[in-house]
Amino acid sequence: MKTVRTTPFDDQRPGTSGLRKKVAVFRKAHYLENFVQSIFEAYPKLRGGTLVLGGDGRFHNREAIQVILRMASANGISRVIVGRGGILSTPAVSHLIRKYRTRGGIVLSASHNPGGPDGDFGIKLNIDNGGPAPEQITEAIFDFSKQIAEYRIAETDDIDLDDIGDYEINEMQISVIDPVDDYAELMGSLFDFDAIRGLIAKPDFSMAFDAMHAVTGPYAKRIFEEILGAPEGTVMNGVPLEDFGGGHPDPNLVHAATLVARTKGDKGLDFAAASDGDGDRNMILGKNAFVTPSDSLAILAANAHLVPGYAGGVSGIARSMPTSQASDKVAEVLGLNAYETPTGWKFFGNLMDADLVTFCGEESFGTSSSHVREKDGLWAVLFWLNLLAATGLSVQAILDRHWERFGRHYYTRYDYEEIDSESAGGLMQDLESRLADLEGTSHGGMRVSMADNFSYTDPVDHSTSSGQGIRVLFENGSRIVFRLSGTGTSGATLRVYMETYENDPQRQHRDTAEVMQPFVEIASELAGIEQRTGRTEPTVIT
């Protein structure tokens, strides 16, 4: 064991989902060590207990795991459960924490951000309920990182991560486990695998899953191809690569374009899906159909009775603030609880622990339920397959049926990436200063009923999180939301979220871009996007 003198870095404040920086930053001397020591200090529960450890396989994953193992030993952690090869998806970590009742977990991932030596790396603490550490703890980590003077580390050789088995560093036990087994078993307990097998075996049913060279490859191959009998090759890009094959492991219409193309036309796939770097996001597609994540959340909740794991009932649905109000409509009609939380999965944990909600979701391709305390990409894909099998309907028919019953929330998000941080800050501040004057004004024939900077008080622990994004609400239920991303690593990213409700079935099959165009114009005018950022077009539209 040794104690190493160090000096603080001033930029170790965790964002929406852990600390994310360029790989080069994480490779600076003491950078990772300082942050890991700050985790052990801010969350002392780990001492004397078990920790789950794994990552999405990106560049620097293995080196970081060896460092964390040595530091865990020197900090009195008694056992660490590691995925073979250092691989564990985010939802798998959450499940392992819960199943083996460990004190927490550390996930190494920058999720959908690109990897490789010039890409991003990230680290995140999950607590003993299996969910991301809440803000009080992430702030305590940051506070400690600002005054750190030394860290503890054991001096030992690397542990063999590629063979399942038990190892030791001094007093600490290390168990290298199969990363997929426990997770696959959990999925089998929630869904009707026989019905899904039957669907996949139909000669006229075709599907594909794009793992984007990220962590879900081994999970998807096991579950879809080995257990559910999908033909070999159903899983595309199924081998996790350190740089995700040079791609951007973000399952959306832009970054999973090859998969999207395979769903087009008369011969398009009946079902297609993709997941992100760390396996917590999902994109759902059908033949000539795209399911917005906000609709997906609403549809899963509305049809939960068709899935064995949820047949016992659903308590409620929570959505992040920028997510469309489609799930609120379902909650209203079915008499379920509905909650609106700030962006980021850490705000859902308390609601699920208190059984106030069963389903949670975000517009950013994140959906999940209380089976874990993270969003869960493959879970959502299996849920959709279970619905297709149980109803005999196509993806588009499920969408049509849902809209007819609950109305349709047209939705789009514009991202302006890597804009100058100061201009972005200025844009938000200026908008905020004009909020009071906005109420009652008319834009494109719609009156603003309310405009504020979203603030949330947790109903369970009563903690408050303010400054969570600017909402402009119109009298007809339409909304425009502006916020700055908390996961980017260079400059700032402005996200503009827009939605409008349509309950006339005759008008539910229009082109989203066309329907949303007036909102795009109102949003740019309200925030002065072009003047402030110099951008005439967003980087990504979803």
Binding site for Co ion (CB under 5 A): 111, 276, 278, 280-281
In angstroms, give the least distance from the CB of 380 to ligand VG1.
12
Per CB under 6 A, which region of 63-71, 338-346, 446-454, 515-523 contacts ligand VG1? 338-346
From the list Co ion, ligand VG1, none, pick the one residue 343 interacts with, judged by a Cβ distance below 5 to 8 Å according to partner type. ligand VG1
Per CB under 6 A, which region of 36-44, 331-339, 362-370, 424-432 contacts ligand VG1? 362-370
Q: Are 353 and 129 within 8 A, CB to CB?
A: yes
Per CB under 6 A, which region of 167-175, 309-317, 392-400, 483-491 contacts ligand VG1? 483-491
Tell me which residues in 102-131 interact with ligand VG1 (CB under 6 A): 111-112
In angstroms, give the least distance from the CB of 487 to ligand VG1.
3
Q: Name the pairing type of β-strands 470-474 and 479-484.
A: antiparallel
In the set 73, 94, 109, 111, the catalytic residue is 111
128 Cβ contact list (under 8 Å, min separation 6): 45, 97, 101, 102, 103, 104
Tell me which residues in 295-324 interact with ligand VG1 (CB under 6 A): 320
From the list Co ion, ligand VG1, none, pick the one residue 487 interacts with, judged by a Cβ distance below 5 to 8 Å according to partner type. ligand VG1
Residue nearest to Co ion (CB): 111
From the list ligand VG1, Co ion, none, pick the one residue 17 interacts with, judged by a Cβ distance below 5 to 8 Å according to partner type. ligand VG1
How many whole angstroms separate alpha carbon 368 and alpha carbon 190? Answer: 12
What would the x/- binding string for ligand VG1 be over residues 261 to 290, using CB under 6 A? ---------------x---xx---------
In angstroms, give the least distance from the CB of 274 to ligand VG1.
12
- Residue 511 CB-half CA count within 13 A: 4
294 Cβ contact list (under 8 Å, min separation 6): 319, 323, 324, 326, 327, 361, 363, 409, 411, 499
Q: Token pair for residue 23?
A: 């790989």
In angstroms, give the least distance from the CB of 486 to ligand VG1.
3
Torsion sign over Cα 212, 387, 346, 71: negative
What type of residue is 176?
V
How many whole angstroms separate alpha carbon 84 and alpha carbon 420? Answer: 40
In angstroms, give the least distance from the CB of 389 to ligand VG1.
27
> Which helix H or strand E contains 483, and what residues bound it?
strand 479-484
Q: 283 or 330: whose CB is closer to ligand VG1?
A: 283
Is 78 catalytic? The answer is no
12, 487, 489, 500: which one contacts ligand VG1 (CB under 6 A)? 487
Q: Token pair for residue 495?
A: 């996200």
In angstroms, give the least distance from the CB of 29 to ligand VG1.
27
If 0-12 CB within 10 Å is exposed, 13-18 middle and 19+ buried, where does residue 353 land? middle
Per CB under 6 A, which region of 180-188, 331-339, 343-351, 518-526 contacts ligand VG1? 343-351
In angstroms, give the least distance from the CB of 514 to ligand VG1.
25
Q: 145 or 323: whose CB is closer to ligand VG1?
A: 323
DSSP character string of 58-73: -TTHHHHHHHHHHHHH
**3-class DSSP state for residue 220?**
helix
Q: 255 or 281: whose CB is closer to Co ion?
A: 281
- Residue 330 CB-half CA count within 13 A: 28
491 near ligand VG1 (CB under 6 A): no
How many whole angstroms separate alpha carbon 149 and alpha carbon 6? Answer: 5
**Token pair 């110099």: residue:** 534
Q: Are 530 and 537 within 8 A, CB to CB?
A: no
How many whole angstroms separate alpha carbon 348 and alpha carbon 369? Answer: 10
Per CB under 6 A, which region of 66-74, 150-158, 164-172, 360-368 contacts ligand VG1? 360-368
Q: Name the pairing type of β-strands 408-419 and 492-502.
A: antiparallel
Q: 115 or 407: whose CB is closer to ligand VG1?
A: 115
Q: 120 or 276: whose CB is closer to Co ion?
A: 276
Residue nearest to ligand VG1 (CB): 111
From the list ligand VG1, Co ion, none, pick the one residue 486 interacts with, judged by a Cβ distance below 5 to 8 Å according to partner type. ligand VG1
Strands, sheet with 442-443, edge to edge from the N-terminal-most edge strand: 442-443, 446-453, 470-474, 479-484, 492-502, 408-419, 540-541
How many whole angstroms separate alpha carbon 410 and alpha carbon 497? Answer: 11
Per CB under 6 A, which region of 42-50, 74-82, 178-186, 340-348 contacts ligand VG1? 340-348
Q: 109 or 325: whose CB is closer to Co ion?
A: 109
Task: Report the interface residues with ligand VG1, using CB under 6 A.
Answer: 16-17, 111-112, 276, 280-281, 320, 343-345, 362, 364, 366, 485-487, 495
Residues annotated catalytic, as ranges: 111
